Amino acid sequence: MNGHPTRPEDFDLYALGVLEGEEKAAFEAHVPSCAACAEKLAEARGRIALLAFSAPRVAPSGAVKERLMRQIHSAPAGAVSARRASPNAPRVSSAVGGPLLCLSR
């Protein structure tokens, strides 16, 4: 990839975290210096974030919630993990992701 990504789907692939190798390296080298491509990547991340709303809503079992709450309460005080599975995984703003991550006690 020289300069601009040649395939429009590269923005979506990168936002999904599946662009690899030389293509990924070239993409990461180019986007920070190109406002047009940075905007296209932001749009792709927004599209990917919206995918969460396309799946049917499923209530987790009580066991899932219980296991999650145990993990939260067993974490050392002050330990907050904000890691994503991949550095280029979709970033979801709190306005979009917040409602998805809420669990009531």
- pLDDT tens track for 73-90: 887 776 655 554 455 554
- Determine, yes or no, domain membership for 23: yes
- Determine, yes or no, domain membership for 99: no
Rg over alpha carbons for the chain, rounded to the nearest Å, is 17
DSSP string across the chain? --SS-SSTHHHHHHHHT---HHHHHHHHHHGGG-HHHHHHHHHHHHHHHHGGGTSPP-PPPHHHHHHHHHHHHHSPTT------SSTTSPP--HHHHHHHH----
- Determine, yes or no, domain membership for 100: no
Q: Kindly report the CATH number assigned to the domain that includes residue 5.
A: 1.10.10
- Determine, yes or no, domain membership for 85: no
- Determine, yes or no, domain membership for 56: yes
2: nearest Cα among 18, 17, 23: 23
- Determine, yes or no, domain membership for 15: yes
Which tokens go with 87? 């550095």
- Determine, yes or no, domain membership for 103: no
- Determine, yes or no, domain membership for 86: no
Question: Model pTM?
Answer: 0.55
Supply the mean pLDDT for the chain.
Answer: 78
Q: By residue range, what is the domain housing residue 70? A: 1-76
Domain count, the chain: 1
- Tens digit of each residue's pLDDT (9 = 90 or more) over 16-66: 999 999 999 999 999 999 999 999 999 999 999 998 888 888 888 889 989
